Amino acid sequence: KIWSYRDGKIFFGSRDNIGQQRFFYEIEPLNSFERELIKKFIDSKTQTNQITSSSILLVYDTVANDNEITRRNGIEEYHTEIEHKAIPIIKKLLEEDLSWSRNKESKIDFANFLGFQYCRTNRNREVLSTILRDTETEFPKYKGMFDAKRLSKIYALLIGALIGKWIDFSGNISFLRNSTVLEFITGDQPVYNLNVKGQEVTEFNLFYPISSQLALLITSDPRSDKELDIDEVHQYNKFIVSVSHEQLYAKNRETLIIYKPEKLV
């Protein structure tokens, strides 16, 4: 069980009963114009990333063109398989063990997991939908030719896979240790780029808290592990609050009281 914050309330409950939304991953087949947009997106990538993106599109099409049960649950089952592969790696990370990263398959498994953790969230999907709706407003000739909500789901998969590729090829993991009286919190956007300003990405530095005392920093340039002071922990926690969509999670109720979003306004 874990302490959670949502809709102005703090409550204690099972992890199985939070962060859930019925048929959140339900998808529909793309129309011809949407497919054209996706194809152009894929064609703009490097050859290696084109192969990855094409395989993701195949997964989407296979699920979207199946029966109703598969359309509602197929992508969630896809994410579940990725999560299961990451479980033993997360256990090693909690012990500050990076030996798994020297195994090519394990590194790919973790990179995929974290890439999708970044993009599969409600917050990220809403950001993508907003960008697509703004595009429709800016270019009225495209109005009614695509569904922003439907497109956001395939873009979330494609971008998640690309972030996973970056983590695999270029990401360097360091540990942020927290021995202070203030614990790390997390939220319904569990990993995010510290260097996003609006919709502009200035650099790629991923922050991912994995326990109340330990977090990961994934950067392009190798960094040393770091022991944080209480002010630094507070700043990272404020970042998690700022990128969360609706929910925050903590080991202790008192920590969430500190970070109720209305207190940060």
- Name the DSSP letter for residue 184: P
- pLDDT exceeds cutoff 80 at 22: no
When pLDDT is cut at 50, 70 and 90, the band that residue 38 belongs to is: very high
pLDDT (average), residues 118-125:
94
Whether 198 has a pLDDT exceeding 80, the answer reads no
pLDDT given for residue 174 in this prediction: 98
pLDDT(39) > 80: yes
- Residues above pLDDT 70, as percent of the chain: 95
Amino acid in the structure at residue 193: N
Burial of 199 (0-12, 13-18, 19+ CB in 10 A): exposed
Summarised one tens digit per residue, pLDDT across range 133-178 is: 998 888 888 889 999 999 999 999 999 999 999 999 999 999 999 9
pLDDT at 140: 87
Q: Note the pTM of the prediction, 2 decimals.
A: 0.92
Contacts of 66 (CB under 8 A, 6+ apart): 74
What is the pLDDT, as a whole number, of residue 93? Answer: 98
In the structure encoding, which two tokens stand for residue 253, read together?
């109720």
CB-based contact 3:12 (threshold 8 Å): yes
Instruction: Provide mean pLDDT across the span 58-64.
Output: 97
When pLDDT is averaged across residues 69-89 and rounded to a whole number, the result is 97
Q: How crowded is the C-beta side of 61, counted as CA atoms within 13 Å?
A: 12
Mean pLDDT of 66-88: 97
